[in-house]
Amino acid sequence: MSNVLLIDFGSTYTKITAVDVEREIVIGTAHGITTVETDIMDGLNQALDELFAITGKLEFAKVLGCSSAAGGLKMVAIGLVLELTVEAAKRAALGAGAKIMGVYGNELSEYEIEEIAALKPEIILLAGGTDGGNKEVIVHNAKMLTTLGLDVPIIVAGNKSVAPQVVKILSAVMSEVVHTENVMPKLNELNIEPARGTIRDVFLRRIVEAKGLNKANKFVNRMVMPTPAAVLKAAELLGKGTEYEAGLGDLMVIDIGGATTDIYSIAKGDPNKRNVALKGLPEPFGKRTVEGDLGMRYSATALFKAAGAKMIADFAGATETDVESYMKKVEENVEYLPQSDIETKVEIAMGRACTRLATERHVGQLETVFTLCGDVFVQTGKDLTAVKIVIGTGGVIVNHKEPESILKGTMYDTSTPQMLKPESPEFWIDEKYIMASMGLLGEEYPEVAIRMMKKYIVRR
Amino acid sequence: MENNKVKVVLGVIGADCHAVGNKILNYALAQGGFEVVNLGVLVPQEEFINAAIETGAKAILVASLYGHGEIDCRGLRDRCREVGLTDIKLYVGGNLVVGKTDFTEVRNKFLAMGYDRVYEPGILPDQVIIDLKNDLGA
């Protein structure tokens, strides 16, 4: 028996994908409403009934799950300097698929502790100090966290010299304190993989149970990771390939949702131009950014503010009044779908604005510095101008008639030449919405997952 | 252990991209027993400060070779105070001003700006290492 079932417990829908790993095909997909508040199995059974109605009864050799249900994996990241260990901790958490509720630097105050307590994070990542560097702040912050009044798993990934002391302080009140390698062992040296892995372990051990996802344990062999981590994994596999199956090379993935827009890039991002100096933190090869103010429904008002009526009106060829009234309408009624020609145009324009702004925040920037030794180009972040493949996934893009008009927002724009966006990308669409599933499948069958993505993610 | 070494932050400030002296100093300081956090060229004041906070460095060594030293270096001491780097040593050197100004005048100007040591052109790294060891007791 070679059937594998992959489940994505989403915030709204529980999506299932049945694959045959021998024939490397998708047997069928289906979805139900996520029912994490009552019994998560209700929604899953609903999806299974829908699936079996099409495929007939199936048996599965393996069932793997990922989840972004009940608000995703809520995390707070703490470091010392905003541009350094705070940023490193944030990237580790994002890479692990977390939803970042807040980031904090320097010595925490009582007010900030109250704020963190109110955010009710499910995991706290505590960093600060390079190895052998600043010791006082992380120790201070550990002491402050003991007054949180909540029992939250804490991952310690800061200055190794005081790690034992920090763990000891926290363990006095917290039931789960895990130590891992420093997210920044040396200045400007990023080391986020160990923290990413540890976050995932804690997610599996603690969060799955706390969220009531363990009720699915009888049915699901393994709840593997948060959904965004599964998408990142799939993107990494497809880009890099393995020893036995070649990847597609550098790529980006765009996932627009009702509340957020996620951008993934799988690329080194070194300068493509000559005579460019790199500045800032080194970039992770597989990078994820999330924009909480760019989304099609719950974040429509925030998107309106971030993009401005003019950008969306220009994209749509509509008036600013049309744009404003439509965007108000969809935020009030998130189930609303465009009814007229003009509404469809505005809807597409909103998607393109999400893509454009989120890409601009994700990619690196080039700056010219005028010096006595001539003009020098300085690059901060990733140069993605040479990226050839941009993949669209997520409900908004997948169910769209013209997904490429939304993905156009990723493209290099001569009016903002400092933004290092892809210059001439091809647009590929994850039509069957399987990327998260393929990330799960890739845990056990990486080559099969790569080949299936090559087959099912199609170029437009 | 590398981490028992005293850390010092090194860099060329402002829009200055003279890299050779920076590399020589980096090498000499490392040989002299320090762990050098070298930020290279084109370094703004904020980066010197961020690096010093995060690494727990005991001194910041600022170089300026293109004549704008006075403008670029001003205010670094105040920023250090602001972020809590109260005990940090600040050294500065290079071609700090344009033209043939009397160096005593230059030194006094930079001392008044809060720098602990001001080096004139042509000074050898050995002197800097001796001074660091004296000042930091390392």
Q: Please answer whether residues A26 and A432 qualify as being in contact, where contact means their C-beta atoms are separated by less than 8 angstroms.
A: yes
Is A150 contained in some domain? yes
Cβ–Cβ below 8 Å for A80 and B53: yes
Q: What is the pLDDT of residue A339?
A: 93
The reply to whether A123 and A64 lie within a common domain is no
Categorize the per-residue pLDDT at A222 as very low, low, confident or very high, splitting at 50, 70 and 90.
Answer: confident
* Structure-token match 């694959």, residue found: A19
User: B79 touching A, CB under 8 A?
Assistant: no
Is A336 contained in some domain? no
Give the total residue count for chain B: 138
Q: What is the pLDDT of residue A389?
A: 97
Report residue A176 as tokens. Answer: 């789960």
The pLDDT tens digits for A84-104 are 999 999 999 999 999 999 999
Is A179 contained in some domain? yes
Q: Which residues of A touch B (CB under 8 A)?
A: 80-81, 83-85, 129-135, 161, 184, 186-187, 277, 279, 369-373, 376, 378
The pLDDT tens digits for A313-325 are 999 999 999 999 9
pLDDT at A274 over 70: yes
Cβ–Cβ below 8 Å for A84 and B54: yes
Q: Please answer whether residues B28 and B13 qualify as being in contact, where contact means their C-beta atoms are separated by less than 8 angstroms.
A: no
Is A152 contained in some domain? yes
Report residue A361 as tokens. Answer: 């925040």
pLDDT at A111 over 90: yes
3 state SS of A281: coil
Is A407 contained in some domain? yes
Cβ–Cβ below 8 Å for A84 and B50: yes
Closest CA to B4 of B34, B36, B44, B24: B34
State the complex-level ipTM: 0.79
Q: What is the pLDDT of residue B1?
A: 40
Domain tally, chain A: 3
The reply to whether A83 and A15 lie within a common domain is no
The reply to whether A103 and A157 lie within a common domain is yes
Domain end (from A177, A206, A235): A206
CATH number at residue A106: 3.40.50.280
Range of the domain at A48: 3-70+211-220
Q: Which residues in chain A are contacts of B17 at CB distance < 8 A?
A: 371, 373, 376
The reply to whether A48 and A120 lie within a common domain is no
pLDDT at B3 over 70: no
Is A362 contained in some domain? yes
- Tell me which chain A residue has its CA closest to the CA of residue B19: A373
Share of chain A above pLDDT 70, in %: 100
Is A242 contained in some domain? no
Mean pLDDT in residue range B61-76? 92
The reply to whether A115 and A193 lie within a common domain is yes
Number of Cβ within a 10 Å radius of residue A253: 26
Number of Cβ within a 10 Å radius of residue B122: 6
3 state SS of A142: helix
User: B6 touching A, CB under 8 A?
Assistant: no
The reply to whether A10 and A157 lie within a common domain is no
Task: Look up residue A86 and give its amino acid.
Answer: V
Orientation of helix B76-83 relative to helix B45-55, angle to 10°: 40
- Tell me which chain A residue has its CA closest to the CA of residue B38: A187
CA separation for the pair B94, B66 (Å, rounded):
8
Report residue A21 as tokens. Answer: 């790993």
Mean pLDDT in residue range B60-66? 95
Categorize the per-residue pLDDT at B37 as very low, low, confident or very high, splitting at 50, 70 and 90.
Answer: very high
Q: Please answer whether residues A261 and A254 qualify as being in contact, where contact means their C-beta atoms are separated by less than 8 angstroms.
A: yes
The reply to whether A41 and A106 lie within a common domain is no
Q: From the CA of A279, how many Å to the nearest CA of chain B?
A: 10
pLDDT at B2 over 70: no
Interface test with A, best of B54, B65, B87 (most A CBs within 10 A): B54
Mean pLDDT in residue range A42-58? 93
The pLDDT tens digits for A163-216 are 999 999 999 999 999 999 999 998 888 999 999 999 999 988 877 777 777 777
Distances (CA, A) of A445 to A16, A439, A451: 18, 10, 10
The reply to whether A65 and A101 lie within a common domain is no
Q: What radius of gyration do chain B's Cα atoms show?
A: 14
- Residue of A80, A131, A369 with shortest CB distance to B3: A131
Distances (CA, A) of B60 to A136, A188, B7, B51: 19, 17, 9, 9
Task: Look up residue B92 and give its amino acid.
Answer: V
The reply to whether A120 and A184 lie within a common domain is yes
pLDDT at A369 over 50: yes
The pLDDT tens digits for B94-118 are 998 887 778 999 999 999 999 999 9
Domains present along chain B, CATH in parentheses: 45-66+78-122 (3.40.50.280)
The reply to whether A46 and A184 lie within a common domain is no
Q: From the CA of B116, how many Å to the nearest CA of chain A?
A: 22
User: B87 touching A, CB under 8 A?
Assistant: no
- Residue of B3, B4, B42 with shortest CB distance to A378: B42
Is A161 contained in some domain? yes
Cβ–Cβ below 8 Å for A277 and B15: no
pLDDT at A11 over 60: yes
CA separation for the pair A295, A255 (Å, rounded):
10
The reply to whether A373 and A410 lie within a common domain is yes
The pLDDT tens digits for A115-124 are 999 999 999 9
Q: What is the mean pLDDT of chain A?
A: 92
Interface test with B, best of A106, A140, A187, A278 (most B CBs within 10 A): A187
- Residue of B3, B16, B42 with shortest CB distance to A132: B3
Q: How far apart are the first and last CA of chain B?
A: 15
- Residue of B16, B51, B54 with shortest CB distance to A129: B54
Lowest average pLDDT, out of A341-345, B1-5, B43-47, B72-76, goes to B1-5
